[in-house]
Structure 1
Amino acid sequence: MDIFYNLIKCLVFSIYWLLIASITFRVLIKRRSIPSSMSWLLIVYIIPLIGISIWFFFGELYLGKRQKKIANRIWSISNKWLNELRSCTYIFQMNNSEVATSLFQLCKHRQGIAGIKSNKLKLLTNTKKTMQILIRDIYLARKNIEMVFYIWKPGGIADDVAIALIDSAKRGIHCRLMLDSAGSVEFFQSPWVEIMRESGIQIVEALKVSILRVFLRRIDVRQHRKIVLIDNYITYSGSMNLVDPYLFKKSSGVGQWIDLMTRIEGPIASTIGIIYSCDWEIETGFKILPPLPNKNMIKNESNQNSSIQVIASGPGFPENMIHQALLTAIYSARYELIMTTPYLVPSEDLLHAICTAAQRGVKVSIIIPLYHDSILVKWASRVFFSELLEAGVNIYQFKKGLLHSKSILVDQQLSLIGTVNLDMRSLWLNFEITLVIDDSNFGRNLLCIHNQYISDSYLLDKKVWSMRAYWTRVLEKIFYFLSPLL
C-alpha cells in the first residue's frame, strides 16, 4: 500500500513539475513583452494550480484547427483580389498631410495598398439617431447587407433594426449577420435567430463558446469588430454595439454608454468588405469577395485631398499592426494629441510614447469614464495615472455615462476611430478594426466632439491624486500585476 501511495505521489509530483517546466518553456520561447512574461511566470509559480488552469485556457493565442488553417492562408488567397484592387488607381491618394504620412506609409507597406480617397464621411455621436439612420439605409438597400457586431442585445430600437433586416431579406436583399457568441449570447437565446433565418438572413455565431470548444481553442479570443456594409458602398464602423442605449446594462448604474460611429460612402467599402470576407471565411469556410470599386463610386470630388486606411487585427491578419499604428500616430504628434478610451491599460511602449509626447511639448489629453463596468480594468488603469500626470498628461474623467468611444486625434488632422481599446486584449488578441482618416474637416468635427466630452468631465488633479489613501495604492499594484493578462 505504501509503495502504491509513493508511486502515485511521485507521478503527481512529476506531472506537476512537467507542466510547470512546459509552461515556463512556452513563456520564454515566445517573444512576449517582459511584463507579460513575468506576470505569467509569477502567477504560475506563486499560485500554481490557478496559474496552470488560467494558462491552459488563456495562455496561448489560437483558434480551432479549421479556423486556424483558413486564417493562416487567408491573405495569400486574397492577394489576387488585392492586386486587382491596386489596378484601380483612381481610388488611391498618393499624397498625405505631413502628420499622416508616416502612418499611411506603414499601412501601405504592411497591408499592400495606399490610402483611399473620394469618400464622404459623417461622424455619429448619438446611438439612437445612429440606429435610425442605419434603419433608413437598410430599407434603401438594393443588393446586399453585411453586419458584424460583438453585442446584439434584443429590445427597444435594436428590434427595429431586426425588423428592417427581415423586411429587406424578404424583398430579395442578400443579408448576412455575424455576431460574437459570447457578446451576443442573449440574441442567440432569443426567438430572433429563427425568425431571421426563416426570412432568408444568413446568421453566423462567431467563435462559439461551449464546454467542448474550450479544449480546442482559446475561449477569450473574441470577434470585437463593429461593421455594417450596405450595397458595397455605404459602411459604418466605430464603437457602437447593436443595443438600445436606454436599455443596455441599465442595472449597472454607470449611465448610458456613449459611443462614436463613422458612416462612410465611397470606395473604402471595398477594403472593409475584404475584411468582412476574411472573417466570414474563417467562420464558414466560404469566400464572399466584394466587387472591386468602379469609377461610378467616385462621386465625392470635394474629398480628393482626404484619404482613409483600414486596419484590421486578429488571428490571420498582419501581426501587431494596430499597436504599430498607435505608436506611429502618437510619435507623429507635434502640438496636440487627444485620446478617448473606456479601458486604459496600455503596453509599456504605448505608455512611454504618450508620456514622451507630453514631455516634448505636445498637449496630451486622455478622456476615460469616471464610472466603469469593469472593476478589474478600473483599478488596473489607476496605476498608470501617476506616471501620466507626472509627464504632463491631462486626464479627464467623463461623468455623463460610460464613455465607450475609442478615438485618437493628432494635430486636428489625423484621426483614428474604431473598436480598439487601449488594453492588451484589443492590442494583441481580439478581432478589431480601426479607421485611419487623414482629413482636416473630419479632424475639426472630431475635435468638437472631444471638447464636448472634456466639458462633461472632471480634470484629475495631480496633487489630489498624490494624496490618495495608501490602501488604494496597494490595490492598484495588485491589479497592475494582472494588467498584462487583462
Structure 2
Amino acid sequence: MLFSYLRVKCRRTMGDEFISSWPTLYYVSEWLVRLVMLVIVIGRPPPRAAMSWLLVIFFLPWPGLLLYLFIGENHLPRRRLTKRKALLAGLEDMRRRYMPRGQDVSSMVGREFLPTVTLAERLGYMPIMSGNQATLLTDTDTVIDRLVGDIDAARHHVHILVYIFAVDRTGERIVAALERAAARGIECRLLADAQGSRKFLKKMLRRLAGAGIEVYPALPVSLLRAWVARIDLRNHRKIFVIDGQIAYTGSQNIVDAGYGHRHLRWHDLMVRLTGPVVLELQAVFAGDWFAESDELLDGPGIFPDGTTAAEGGVAVQTLPSGPLFPAENYQRLTVAALYATRRKVTITTPYFVPDEVFLEAMETVALRGVVVELIVPLQSDQILVANAARGYYDRLLNSGIRIYLFNRGLVHAKSITVDDSLAFLGSSNFDIRSFALNFEINMIVYDAGFAATLRQQQDWYRAHSRQLTLAQWQQRPRYQRILQNIIKLLSPLL
C-alpha cells in the first residue's frame, strides 16, 4: 500500500519517467522509515538502546524496522500482563500465610546490610528468611547426583523450572528419575523454556505426558505471537523444588558439562537449600506455573507447615526479576551492593555486557581503592557477546579493575562476593539481557561462612585464569579494536 501511494503521488508531481523505477520508490521508502522510526525510537528508554536501534535503522531501514517489530519493544502478551496483579497479590498472600512472621532483621544480618535487605524486599517482594541450610555445589555431576537422590526420595511433589533441558545423558537421568517418581504417585511438574529447551520439548513431550508428568513450555515462541509479544523474552530461571522442603537454584541447566562444545566444559554454581527460604522459591515456581497453565498451586502440600527454621542456619533472601518486576531490579540491587563495598568485590559471569549504570559503579568503587575483580571465560560460546564485552576492557583496566580470563573451560557461574559476609548467586548474567529482559532468579546470602566458601570457589576460578593487563590488551591488532567497538555500539540489542 505504501508503494502504491508513493507511485501515484510521485507520478503527479514528478512525472512517469522519473518514478518508473522501483529503486527510486525503495529509496524514498527507506527515508520514510528512517524519519518515522526516529520519532518512535528516540524517546524510548534507555538512551543507549535507542541510539543502537537508530544506528541499525539508519544503515538498514527495512531490515531494522522488521527487527524492531520483533524485539524492539519490551512487552509481554496481554494475557500475562492481566495476570500480573494476580501474581503479585498471590505472592503477598503466600507471604502472609506461609512465611514466618515477627522476625527481627537486625538480628539476622550486620547493620551495614540492612539497606540491602530493605531494597531487595521492595524490588522483589520477598522478605529475608533466617534458619536455612545452604550448601554450595560446584560440580555438574554432583548437582545431578544430589538432585536425582532427592527426586527418588520425594513424598509429595517435584517441581522443575529450567532454561535448557537437553536430550543427553544428564537429561535422561532426570527424566528417568521423574518417571520413577510419577510411577510412585508423586506429582511431577516441569516448566522448560520454549526456546532454550525446544529440542527436548519436541522429542520428549509425549514420553513425559505418557508417564503422568505435567509439562508446559515457558513463554512459547511463534511468528504469530511475535506481533503481540517480544519473542526473545526468555525464562532463564533454574529452580528445582522437592516437597516444599528442598530447593536448588543457581546457574546450572539440565545438561552435560560439555553441552554444545566437546572441548569446553561448563563450570556452574548451584546452592541446595532447606528451610523457610524454600517457600520463596516455591512461590516463584508457582507464579510461573500459573502464568503458563492457569493452575494455581496452593495448600499445605505445596507450602508445608513443616518448613521450619533451623538453629544456627543462614539468612537468605530471594530476588526474582523480569518484566513483571520493577525495572532492572537485580541490577539496582547489585549496584547498591557495589557502592557499599569497603574492601573487595569479585564478580564471575560468562557474559559481561554492562549498561552505563553498572559500569560506572564498578569504576567508581575501583577508583576509591576497593579491589574489584572480574572473572570471565577466555573462550566463549557466544562470539558476538564476547566481543561486545571486550569492547569494555580498556575502560575497566584504566580504572584499575582486575580482569581474569578463565582458561579451564566456560565459567558459567554467575556470582558476586562483597567483602567477607555477603554473597549473590543465581541465574542472572551481568549483561543487559539478564538485567532488563529475561525472567531470572537470584539469591542473596547474608553469611560469612557461605561467603567464604563462595570466595574459595572464585579463588579457584582465578587460579585457573590468566590476568589481563592494560599493556597486553593495548597490543591487540587494530582490526580487533575496530570490530569490538562496533559490536559494543550494538550491545544494548544483544
TM range (shorter): over 0.9
- For residues 298-347 of structure 1, give each alpha carbon's deviation from its aligned partner in whole angstroms, at most 9, with x where no partner exists: 352012xx311111111222332111111011111100100000011101
- Residue of structure 1 equivalent to 2:316: 308
Structure 1 position 138, deviation (Å): 0.3
Residue equivalent to 1:365: 373
- 1:314-393 pair list within 5 angstroms: 314-393=322-401
Q: After the TM superposition, which residues 1-400 of structure 1 pair with which residues of structure 2 at under 5 Å, given as runs? A: 6-7=7-8, 19-30=33-44, 32-85=45-98, 88-89=101-102, 95-190=108-203, 192-246=204-258, 248-251=259-262, 253=263, 255-289=264-298, 291=300, 296-303=306-313, 306-400=314-408
Structure 1, gaps ≥5 residues long = none
Decide whether the 8 Å contact of 2:317 with 2:445 is kept in 1.
Answer: yes
Partner amino acid, structure 2, of 1:6? R
Shift of 1:111: 3.8
Tell me by how many angstroms 1:293 deviates.
6.2
SS in 2 for 1:100: helix
Normalising to structure 1: TM-score of the pair? Answer: 0.93
- Seen in structure 2, the aligned counterparts of structure 1 residues 90 and 353 have a Cα distance that, compared at 3 Å, is closer
Show the counterpart of 2:15.
none
Once residues 337 and 5 of structure 1 are traced to their aligned partners in structure 2, the CA distance between those partners, rounded to angstroms, is: 59
Name the CA distance, whole Å, in 2 between partners of 1:25 and 1:98.
Answer: 48
Asked whether the 8 Å contact 1:44–1:52 carries over to 2, the reply is: yes
Rounded Cα–Cα distance in structure 2 between residues aligned with 1:41 and 1:53: 13
Instruction: Give the letter for the 1:82 counterpart.
Output: R
SS at match of 2:131: coil
Identity of aligned residues (%): 32
Q: Please tell me whether the aligned partners of residues 428 and 442 of structure 2 are also in contact (alpha carbons under 8 angstroms).
A: yes
In our comparison, the structure showing a higher alpha carbon Rg is: 2
CA contact (8 A) 2:193 2:236 kept: yes
1:8, distance to aligned residue in structure 2 (A)? 7.2
In 1, Cα distance between equivalents of 2:327 and 2:493: 18
Aligned CA-pair RMSD: 2.3
SS of the counterpart of 1:297?
coil
SS at match of 2:216: strand
Task: Report the secondary structure of 1:69's partner residue.
Answer: helix
Cα gap change, 1:284 to 1:25, in 2 (>3 Å): farther
Tell me the TM-score normalized by structure 2.
Answer: 0.91
Please state how far the C-alpha of 1:12 moved relative to its aligned partner: 7.5
CA drift at 1:9: 6.1
After TM superposition, give the deviation of residue 276 of structure 1 in Å: 0.9
1: CA distance, partners of 2:106 / 2:215: 36
Aligned counterparts of 2:285 and 2:106: Cα–Cα separation in 1: 23
1:397-455 C-alpha deviation (Å, 9 max, x unpaired): 00000110000000021101001111111000011011011010000100110111011
| Inter-CA distance 87–409: structure 2 relative to 1 (3 Å threshold) | closer
1:17 Cα deviation from its structure 2 partner = 6.0
Q: Please list every run of 5 or more consecutive structure 2 residues that lacks an aligned counterpart in the other structure.
A: 12-24
Aligned in 2, Cα 1:114/1:188: closer, same or farther, shift over 3 Å?
A: closer
Name 2:455's counterpart in structure 1. Answer: 447
Distance, in Å, in 2 between the alignment partners of 1:276 and 1:4 is 52
Q: Which residue pairs with 2:464 in the alignment?
A: 456
